[in-house]
Each structure stands twice: as C-alpha cells, then as structure tokens.
Chain A
Amino acid sequence: MKTGSSARTVKEIKAEIDKCTGCRACEMACSAFHAQPRYSSVNPSRSRIRVVADEINDEYVPVRAGNFTRSECSGRHTYEIDGKAYSECSFCRASCPSRDYFIEPDSGLPLKCDMCESVPPLLEPMCVAVCQPGCLTYEERQVATQVNEQETQEAVERGLESLVNKYGIKAVIGSLNRTPKSPQR
C-alpha cells in the first residue's frame, strides 16, 4: 500500500472571552471588509462575526458564522462556566432560523466566515486585526495529513462506477472531456 503525506494549513481564531469588552469593532471591520466595494459601508448585521452580548448578565462571546441550517435544533444547550450561566446558543456558530445572526438582512441568505481570504492575503482576518483588547488572536498551524493513494484510487473508481450506472458511459466520458483542465496538485 502506497502512502504519502502532505501538509494542510489550519487557520484558527482563538477567542479569550474574558478579554472581550463588547466593543464590536470586529463586527464593524468584518462588515466593512466584505462590503462591495470593499470598506464602502458598515453594517454589523452583515458581519460574519457577532458578539453575543448580554451586559446585564456580563456575557460577551464573539462567535464566527459557521454552517447554515434550515431548521433550528430540537433541543438547547446551556452552559455554566465559573458559576455564570450563558444564554442559550451563545457558543453556537450556526446560521439558523432561531435568531437573526449570520443572515443577510436584505436577501435572507446565510453568511459564513471565510477567514477574510483574499488576494493578496491579509496577515490575519480583519476581526482579529482590529481587536485591540486582545480577545481574538490568530494562528496558522500546519497539520500533516496522511494520503493513502490506494484508498484514493478505490474511491475514485467507486464514484465513477456509480456515475456510469446512473448516466451511462458515454455521458461520463463526454463530461470528463469537457471538464477544463484543473491545476495539477
């Protein structure tokens, strides 16, 4: 069995919630960075990071937008940390109908954090760049990933076989021929 290894970059934003002052500069910067044209407007409702804040309860949790979900979950998690109860969904990253976070206010489409990937790349995502209180920090880690070439080969063959079964060999070959050449890995 032939195996190889390659490295994958994991981008990580760490939130030390005790350091959050609730200023929401992260929301400002995120919405400005993702505005079209860039920086042309500010609107925290478009931000892909939100500070779940409840100042009466001394609760400040910056959360980045994660996956979209069509329906809210059937149960709820509540957390108690150091004797303080956090409101439900504080730590959840979902763009979910139970709340209006991470939903485009005009279109209703879900928003998802893209770590501010852009050309040329930023040193760190915008929310981190403006977080002077030091609640948000950014780190890139290289994670080694094992690649098993035999397994990969088998997976490709299984996939092709099911396509052939469904659409016929001609359609599959035609599609493959029409596929633009992708860059070599």
Chain B
Amino acid sequence: MKYAETGFSLEIDLSLGRIEKVESDPRDTELYLGGQGIAAKILFERVPPEVDPFSPDNLLIFSAGLLNGTPAPGANRTVVNTFSPQTNLMSHSLFGGFFGPELKFAGYDRIIIRGKATDLVYLYIHNDQVEIRDATHLRGKGTTETQDLLKQELKDQRVQVAAIGLAGENRVYMASIDHNHASASRGVGVIMGDKRLKAIAVRGTRDLHVARPAELFELAQALHKKIGEGDGNGDWMAVDEDDSFHHNHFAWGNARTRRKGFWSDELQQRWTNWKYDHMDRQTGCYNCPKKCRNVIKWPGRPRFGYKCFGKDTYHMAAFLELDFTYEILGVAQEYGLDSYSTPQVIAFALELLEAGILTDRDFPEMPADSRGRFFYLLEKIVRREGIGDILANSVSHAAKQIGNGAEAYDHNTTKKFEQLPIKLGKLNPAYFLMIATGEKMSITQIEGSFPQDPLPTREQREAFVDKWEAPPDEKFKQYFLEWEKRDDISDQATCEIVDWNEAMHYIDDSTGLCGFVSSFRGQFGGGVAYHMNNIPQIVSCATGMEMDKERLWKTFQRIRTLVRAVNVRRGLRRKDERPPEDHWAVRDEKYEQELLSKYYDFKGWNSEGIPTRRALERLDLAYVADDLERDGILTADETVRAGVPSAESDSIQG
C-alpha cells in the first residue's frame, strides 16, 4: 500500500484525446518527494531543451504536494510547472485552496498534460472517471464564474476547479490559473491557454492512507493548535492594518518612486474602514486554521479574495489608494491576471507614453486619469488589442518589440521576469544572491527563513534567538547574534543563509506545505509550525520513508540542483544572474561577482553556474551529468575551484 501519495499519475494528451492512469515509480518519491521535485524530473526527462514553450510537446504539470491530503495542517498547495514563454525557463508556481488534496482523494498525485486541444476543453476527473469535455460554452468566462458554472453543470458543489480566464485564453504572459480565490502566476496560465485547456474540475471520494497514523495525528493536532493560537503563522497582512512598511519603502509606479512619509494614522483609519465595510469574511485553505484571504465585495464589481502584498500592487503602480485596488482587483482576477506583474506592465506602458516613446496614437480614446487608464490598459492587454497585444508579452518582451529606447524602461526584471518593486540603498548580500540565482523568479518564493535585517541591539538579538526553533543548525543563531550591519556579514554565512532560505522553499514546494506556516515565516522568530527540525518526522510518519534532517537536506539539494540543470540545459548562464541594476543604489560589481563565484563553488556549480559532475553524482543525478556532457554543456574535466567551504558534505553541520 502507498502512504501519503496515491502512487498514480494521470497522463493527458490533448492532441490525441488520450487519457492514461500510470503507476509512478516509488523511487522518485524517495529522491524527489513530490510536487515540484518530481515535476522537475519529468520535465528534465520528457521535454528536450529545444522544445518551444508553445509547442504541443511542452508539458503542463499539476502536482499535489507529498503531504497534501494527510492530516498535516497547512499542506494544501498545488504546484504547477511547465516552461514559460516569458523566461524560456522552467515555470514554477503554486496555489492554495483545496485542489491538491481533492486530486489525492480522486486517486492521483499529479496530472501531466501534453499536446493541444483544437478548441477549448475542460478536464473532468471524478475518481476513475476522467473525461476531456467541450468547454466552448465557457469561452471568455471569468475564473470564479467558470468554477461556478462547472459546479452547476456537474451538479456538485464539492468539485474543485482550477481555471483560466480571458487572459489565459488569449495567451497573455501574465495570465494566472485560479482556484477558489487563490491563483498560480509566473507563466503557467499562458500555457494552459495555449493548450486550450479552460479548466480542470476534480472530485475524489477515496481514502488517502498514512504510514504511522496515531503518531502523525498527534503531531498534526499539536500543529493545529500552534498555528491557530499563536501569531507565528499565517499572513499577518490579513489582520494587521498598519501597512506602512510596503507603502513607505516599496517603489510606486513602474518601480520608480519611493514615498517615505506616505502612511499616516488618518489614512490607516480610512483604509481600515474600506476593508471592513466591504469584507464578507476571511477564509482559509484546506485543513489550515489560518484565514489569510480577505474576501471583498466592492459595489458593482465581482467578489474577490486577496492575501499579502496583492492588495497593494495596483494602487501603488497607479499612485492611487486602496479603494482603487478594491475596484480593479475583482475584475483582474476574473480575467485571470497576475496581480504582481500586470500593474508593472501597465505602469511601464504609461511611462513610455510620458517619455514619448509611445504616443497618444498608441492609446486611442484612453481616459486622462490614472484610474481610467489602468482599466483601459487592463482591457487592451487581456484582449490583446492594439498596444495591448505587445504589452501582453510582459515588460521585457514588450520593451524589445517597441524598441526606440523602451529597453531602458525595462529596469526591474531579472531573467526577463518582473521583480518586486523594491529599490534600496545598501546591498544585502544574501538578497543579492537570492535575486540573482533564484529560479522561482520572485524573491517571495525564495526568502523567508533568515531575517531580512539585523536587530539593533545584542539584547534584542538574544531574545530573538532564544525563541527561534527554525534554524537547522546552531551556526545560524550565531550568525544572527553577530550581525550588526545589513551589508557586513561573511561570505560563508551569506552562502549558508541563502542555502537555508532556498531549502525551506524547495521542501515546501515538494511537500505542498504553505510558506505562511513554514518557509516564509521562519524569519520572524518563534512559533513557526514547520521547519527543518520537525518536517523529517512528519514526512516519515506520513509516508513510512526513513527521513531525518540530513536526508531531507540532501533531498533539497537534489531537487535544487535538478531545477538548475533543467534551466542550464535551456541556456541559463551566469550572465543572466543579475538583479535589477537599480535594486540597490550602492553597488560594487567586483564584490558581487566574487560573491556569486563563491556561491557557485559552495553549491558545487562551475563558474557559469552549471552543476559539476561531482556535485550531480553525489546527489544521485549522474543521468543529468551524462546528459549535460552529451550536449556539450559540461566538459568531463570540470572541477570546482577552492572558495568557501562547499555545501557538498552530506551533513548540514559540514
């Protein structure tokens, strides 16, 4: 019997209309856990590097995390992977809610989709009944509208639906896949649209077994309590009305302008009223005690749910206030547009107009006010009309297509992907490395275990460290105790901190744990539910696999290195690993490049950021080394130069 996973994948070929239920190899679970770990292996093995993201041979994979559906609270994230036309690299995204657990109860760990349908279809999964069905009647329907229509059509309120909106249908690069007021962005919605797959509706009534029931349930109950009662978990932005941090420190417009004294008590009161006067309730995801999503009904607009920084992006790009975000967010979510990148694309276009690179002729009949212009451009983009057809390809691609100096306004992307609008003074070395080398494209998907800034006094740092359960090793506590200035920390410590931050996200995204009970919350000190010290026991109780901290750490390294190999094979090199030039005001190219080299060494990658054979073999990835050598990406005599002591030891204490 399988534990925690079902042991089966669904293989769907939309070109041929073929559906297969395929037993998976238990060895993959041992090596890659599940979620993005196994998805990365599938993408490596089955999508050759020359395959264009828009080719029918590109795969779109929906995976349940390894712990989805088990009693472990907060393990509900569904992982979506494919290759993105925006970056031409592996696309990695997740959404919360109920989909992944439901997929497990239907008897599948993942859905692997290849090919393209001739017209819009949806996939209906009800245990063993799996059908590709016509979805032309859903053309142009909104994301939650589609969920509602499918529930009615299938006469089942319990069916869990993931759908694209008009943005995905029109292959807008910023398109998201939406489910239950949660959405997966960063390059997955465009591919779902390209495959002409409007939605997946899944319903399952099967048992999901766990290996050591009583022990796991007791752990789960304690975690329920810990997550529910304390403030160490969940999205504090759902309840904290003081959002001066983002508004005073992040950049407005096209990631340009900081407004340091923006926040005020009067404003906070006004915004709080807007929120509570229009909020239906706060909702949670499957089997998680937190309620991170605020569900808002704004007059005349579709109901929507948001969490975290998603409530700020539109009005900060438009230099407006929260009421504008509330007005536009429901519309944008029905279209299935990512709320991080889309406002930046719009602000970028308006900057080009101001600069005279685009002219009024490119924006026929556009209103004069910021509010009206954002709505105008949203419509143009989602319908790919006029200038919208170019803007729908994201900032970097649009800048190239427009030319005439537009490239200079593409100032906030890395690997052609829109970054968070942050412009700071002095460099934070760990953040330099994370933004440079991150392959989840957004810093929010990489950061989170080690604090972003030092605390001012030794006493405060000691108090912080005292309650800090998350560090996998005492050395991290020491690093924090001794850390006084943001940019003054040893290269060795920087490499290890980045490694730990990454480790937690790679484990979360393979197990389906949410960052708000795990990877993202370790940095705030005590009380985080999941960390390197307790995840091994939970994985072991759920799956029956032997697992300890060292083995889990090595599993992270294996998945991380495999993702790197997937991207290296598609051309990712050192030259691409550059944070936006204006991310920090004070830069030191020589220091940064030295640090990057040290980090590559630490990871067991060569000077181009390519994993060496030795590193690959140590992580049971010899087949990857063979492949990279065959393609001439790796030469057989590649060695790692001596730099900082590397992460190659099996022990994290190493």
Residues of B within 8 A of A35 (CB): 207, 213
Q: Tell me whether A37 and B213 are in contact in the complex, defined as CB-CB below 8 angstroms, given that A43-B105, A55-B181 are known contacts.
A: yes
> A58 touching B157 by the CB < 8 A rule?
no
Q: Tell me whether A23 and B148 are in contact in the complex, defined as CB-CB below 8 angstroms, given that A40-B209, A132-B225 are known contacts.
A: no
> B157 touching A32 by the CB < 8 A rule?
no
**Interface residues of A, CB < 8 Å — how many?**
34
Residues 42-64 of A contacting B (Cβ, < 8 Å):
42-46, 52-56, 58, 60
Whether a CB of chain B sits under 8 angstroms from the CB of A41 is yes
> A43 touching B206 by the CB < 8 A rule?
yes
Interface 9-mer from B214-222, B309-317, B415-423: B214-222
Whether a CB of chain B sits under 8 angstroms from the CB of A93 is no
Whether a CB of chain A sits under 8 angstroms from the CB of B282 is yes
> B291 touching A133 by the CB < 8 A rule?
yes
> A21 touching B181 by the CB < 8 A rule?
no
Q: Tell me whether A55 and B286 are in contact in the complex, defined as CB-CB below 8 angstroms, given that A37-B213, A42-B69, A43-B207 are known contacts.
A: no
Pick the contact of A25 from B144, B147, B289 — CB < 8 Å? B289
> A41 touching B210 by the CB < 8 A rule?
yes
Pick the contact of B281 from A32, A58, A87 — CB < 8 Å? A58
Chain A residue with Cβ nearest B180 = A55
Chain A residue with Cβ nearest B181 = A55
> A23 touching B286 by the CB < 8 A rule?
yes
Residues of B within 8 A of A46 (CB): 207
Whether a CB of chain A sits under 8 angstroms from the CB of B284 is yes
Whether a CB of chain B sits under 8 angstroms from the CB of A18 is yes
Q: Tell me whether A32 and B105 are in contact in the complex, defined as CB-CB below 8 angstroms, given that A105-B205, A130-B224 are known contacts.
A: no
Pick the contact of B208 from A18, A43, A87 — CB < 8 Å? A43
**Interface residues of B, CB < 8 Å — how many?**
44
Chain A residue with Cβ nearest B305 = A55
The CA of A22 and the CA of B287, in the complex, are separated in Å by 9
Whether a CB of chain B sits under 8 angstroms from the CB of A129 is yes
Residues 1-58 of A contacting B (Cβ, < 8 Å):
18, 21-25, 28-29, 32, 35, 37-46, 52-56, 58
The CA of A5 and the CA of B464, in the complex, are separated in Å by 60
> B303 touching A21 by the CB < 8 A rule?
no
The CA of A18 and the CA of B289, in the complex, are separated in Å by 15
Residues 22-61 of B contacting A (Cβ, < 8 Å):
none
Q: Tell me whether A38 and B283 are in contact in the complex, defined as CB-CB below 8 angstroms, given that A43-B206, A56-B144, A133-B228 are known contacts.
A: no
> A132 touching B144 by the CB < 8 A rule?
no
How would residues 318 to 350 of chain B score, 1 for a CB under 8 Å from any chain A CB and 0 otherwise? 000000000000000000000000000000000
Chain B residue with Cβ nearest A17 = B281
Whether a CB of chain A sits under 8 angstroms from the CB of B280 is yes
> A42 touching B291 by the CB < 8 A rule?
no
Pick the contact of B148 from A39, A42, A52, A56 — CB < 8 Å? A56
- Please give the distance in Å from B199's CB to the nearest CB on chain A: 15
How would residues 219 to 253 of chain B score, 1 for a CB under 8 Å from any chain A CB and 0 otherwise? 00100110111000000000000000000000000
Q: Tell me whether A21 and B207 are in contact in the complex, defined as CB-CB below 8 angstroms, given that A39-B71, A58-B303, A132-B224 are known contacts.
A: no
How would residues 142 to 177 of chain A score, 1 for a CB under 8 Å from any chain B CB and 0 otherwise? 000000000000000000000000000000000000
- Please give the distance in Å from B225's CB to the nearest CB on chain A: 7
> B205 touching A58 by the CB < 8 A rule?
no
Residues of B within 8 A of A53 (CB): 157
Q: Tell me whether A40 and B210 are in contact in the complex, defined as CB-CB below 8 angstroms, given that A54-B157, A132-B289 are known contacts.
A: yes
Chain B residue with Cβ nearest A130 = B224
The CA of A41 and the CA of B73, in the complex, are separated in Å by 15
> B105 touching A39 by the CB < 8 A rule?
no
Give 9 closest A-B pairs by Cβ, nearest first: A132-B228, A132-B289, A39-B213, A45-B205, A105-B205, A41-B207, A21-B284, A23-B284, A39-B217
8 A-B interface contacts by CB (under 8 A): A23-B283, A23-B285, A32-B217, A42-B210, A43-B208, A60-B283, A130-B224, A132-B289
